[in-house]
């Protein structure tokens, strides 16, 4: 009866469980790795190792159980063939665990090999200087070009490559290479951002290189890939330097940024110092190799990101000061540029509201002195209604032409613009945008024009 008890026990159900664990562990792990080799390898390794440990413990327990039962049978002196089952049942029953154990060991060996391969691959990728590459592109058509209103018809916007190399646990890098069509129709290549950083913690990261100057909100929230922005284009005074922008959108220097949770809110901060920019060819240039006189731009940005009932709301202030030379004149003309302002953002699943305000208190350092006050700002309201988003924007810049900083720039005139638009998200990676706008220059040229624009923007 002893062998009958062994045969009726739950040991075969436990062997079956072991076979299921060992049999399915390897195919599922291999399938997951094949489906997404760049996924979280550490999590998959942990799961596989846990299953492997469970299976090994179960095999050990079963082996000990079999030895104990065989010892009991041997002590009682009752041969298996004499029990209530047939003579064939005993050897067959004893043979099944041996075969099952062999199959289980083979599967466990396969699991061990899979774990080893994934671990080796994860370690290799952790040390590898791989180059994750993303891209953005846009094309358009309209009665005016979105950036250069003297042109009309179809246009090619830009092809933007966004690179984030994997360098280590705390070392960070970001490079943005942009191929864009200029006003003359030629294709220019700009290394828009080239920044290498080190993250001390969530509350402090230091970047060195060329980065988007962290004033306001819009300039660092939206880069050159137009697909990520709701609107068809940036506010005119916040355009990038080679597209008519009047602010130093890029800085070459050092940037300290981070955030810290305080109660239910999160405080964000930015502090930066870098080469002062210059004016050449009627546009701002960020002095990539340095500047002749060692002038610097110094600035900061502080914000509060709320949660709870105010989740999605961010309020902030910003300021910078620099000395900018107009090198189109000999001798060069210098201006002390001081800018400060505030911004408010309300960004949720349904709403996207943006508002920024800038004040300029500049001083002519060459020629007639005195301070010159100018202002600029915009407000944009958007509603995310599923796969489409209507938006409206008003922007205005009142720029004193007695301020040489603005007078020396081709697009340094005062203006205001009304715009309404509609963004259609065709899928997760492409968007079709329509915009109607009216723009009026309120000094210098005193021109006004209406725009009907279409843009098709993608990311890959």
Q: Once rounded to an integer, what is the mean pLDDT over residues 88-115?
A: 54
Tell me the pLDDT tens digit for each residue of 161-216. Answer: 989 988 888 999 999 999 998 888 888 899 999 999 999 998 999 999 999 999 99
Beta carbons of 195 and 174 less than 8 angstroms apart: yes
Q: Is the pLDDT of residue 259 over 90?
A: yes
Spatial neighbors of 291 by CB under 8 A, at least 6 apart, are 275, 276, 278, 325
Q: Is the pLDDT of residue 64 over 50?
A: yes
Question: Sorting pLDDT into bands at 50, 70 and 90, what band is 46?
Answer: low
**pLDDT for the residue 116:** 54
**pLDDT for the residue 104:** 61
Spatial neighbors of 98 by CB under 8 A, at least 6 apart, are none
**Least confidently predicted of 132-136, 317-321, 456-460:** 132-136
Question: Sorting pLDDT into bands at 50, 70 and 90, what band is 56?
Answer: low
Q: Once rounded to an integer, what is the mean pLDDT over residues 78-105?
A: 47
Question: Sorting pLDDT into bands at 50, 70 and 90, what band is 261?
Answer: very high
Q: Is the pLDDT of residue 316 over 60?
A: yes
**pLDDT for the residue 336:** 96
Tell me the pLDDT tens digit for each residue of 30-44. Answer: 333 334 444 445 555
Beta carbons of 73 and 10 less than 8 angstroms apart: no
Spatial neighbors of 423 by CB under 8 A, at least 6 apart, are 230, 231, 232, 388, 389, 390, 391, 431, 432, 433
Tell me the pLDDT tens digit for each residue of 140-165. Answer: 999 998 888 888 999 999 999 989 98
Question: Sorting pLDDT into bands at 50, 70 and 90, what band is 114?
Answer: low
C-alpha R_g of the chain: 33
Question: Sorting pLDDT into bands at 50, 70 and 90, what band is 100?
Answer: low
Q: Once rounded to an integer, what is the mean pLDDT over residues 416-437?
A: 97
Tell me the pLDDT tens digit for each residue of 408-419. Answer: 999 999 999 999
Q: Is the pLDDT of residue 304 over 80?
A: yes
| Long-range contact pairs involving 446-450 (C-beta distance under 8 Å, separation at least 24) | 449/144, 449/149, 450/143
Tell me the pLDDT tens digit for each residue of 117-130. Answer: 555 554 444 445 46
Domain 133-459 matching CATH 3.40.50.300: the answer reads no
Q: Once rounded to an integer, what is the mean pLDDT over residues 321-345?
A: 93
**pLDDT for the residue 71:** 54
Q: Is the pLDDT of residue 23 over 50?
A: no
Of residues 128 and 87, the one with the higher pLDDT is 128
Query: How does DSSP assign 324-360, residue by residue?
Result: EEETTSSSPEEEEEEEEEEEEEEE-SSEEEEEEEEEE
Tell me the pLDDT tens digit for each residue of 348-402. Answer: 999 999 999 999 999 999 877 788 999 999 999 999 999 999 999 999 999 999 9
Of residues 56 and 22, the one with the higher pLDDT is 56
**pLDDT for the residue 188:** 86
Of residues 117 and 59, the one with the higher pLDDT is 59
Q: Is the pLDDT of residue 131 over 80?
A: no
Beta carbons of 401 and 444 less than 8 angstroms apart: yes
Report the mean per-residue pLDDT for the chain.
81
* Predicted model pTM: 0.72
């Amino acid at each position: 009866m002893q062998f009958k008890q062994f045969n009726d026990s739950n040991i075969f159900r436990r062997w079956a469980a072991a076979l299921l664990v060992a049999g399915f562990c390897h195919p599922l792990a291999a399938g997951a790795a094949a489906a997404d080799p760049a996924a979280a390898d550490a999590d998959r390794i942990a799961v596989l190792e846990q299953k492997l440990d469970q299976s090994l413990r179960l095999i050990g327990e079963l082996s000990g159980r079999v030895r104990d039962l065989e010892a009991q049978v041997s002590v009682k002196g009752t041969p298996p063939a004499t029990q209530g089952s047939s003579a064939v049942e005993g050897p067959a029953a004893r043979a099944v665990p041996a075969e099952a154990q062999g199959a289980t060991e083979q599967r466990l060996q396969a699991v061990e090999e899979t774990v080893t391969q994934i671990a080796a691959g994860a370690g290799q990728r952790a040390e590898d200087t791989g180059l994750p590459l993303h891209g953005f592109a846009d094309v358009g058509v309209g009665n005016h070009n979105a950036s250069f209103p003297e042109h009309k018809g179809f246009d090619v916007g830009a092809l933007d490559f966004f690179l984030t190399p994997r360098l280590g646990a705390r070392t960070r890098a970001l490079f943005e290479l942009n191929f864009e069509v200029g006003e003359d129709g030629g294709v220019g290549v700009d290394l828009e951002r080239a920044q290498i950083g080190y993250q001390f913690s969530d509350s402090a990261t230091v970047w060195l290189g060329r980065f988007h100057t962290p004033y306001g909100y819009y300039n660092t929230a939206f880069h050159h890939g137009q697909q990520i922005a709701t609107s068809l284009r940036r506010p005119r005074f916040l355009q990038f330097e080679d597209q008519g922008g009047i602010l130093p959108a890029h800085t070459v220097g050092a940037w300290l940024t981070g955030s810290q949770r305080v109660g239910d809110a999160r405080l964000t901060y930015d502090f930066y110092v870098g080469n002062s920019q210059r004016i050449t060819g009627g546009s701002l240039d960020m002095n990539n190799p340095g500047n002749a006189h060692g002038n610097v731009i110094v600035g900061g940005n502080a914000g509060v990101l709320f949660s709870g009932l105010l989740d999605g709301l961010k309020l902030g202030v910003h300021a910078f000061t620099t000395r900018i030379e107009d090198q189109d004149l000999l001798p060069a003309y210098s201006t002390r540029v001081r800018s400060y302002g505030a911004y408010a953002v309300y960004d949720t699943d349904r709403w996207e509201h943006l508002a920024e305000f800038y004040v300029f208190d500049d001083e002519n350092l060459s020629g007639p002195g005195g301070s010159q006050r100018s202002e600029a700002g915009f407000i944009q309201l958007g509603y995310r209604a599923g796969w489409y988003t209507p938006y409206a924007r008003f922007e205005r810049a009142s720029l004193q032409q007695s301020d040489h900083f603005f007078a020396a720039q081709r697009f340094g005139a005062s203006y205001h613009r009304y715009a309404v638009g509609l963004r259609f998200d065709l899928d997760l990676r492409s968007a079709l945008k329509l915009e109607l706008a009216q723009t009026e220059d309120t000094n210098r040229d005193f021109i006004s024009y209406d725009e009907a624009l279409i843009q098709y923007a993608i990311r890959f």
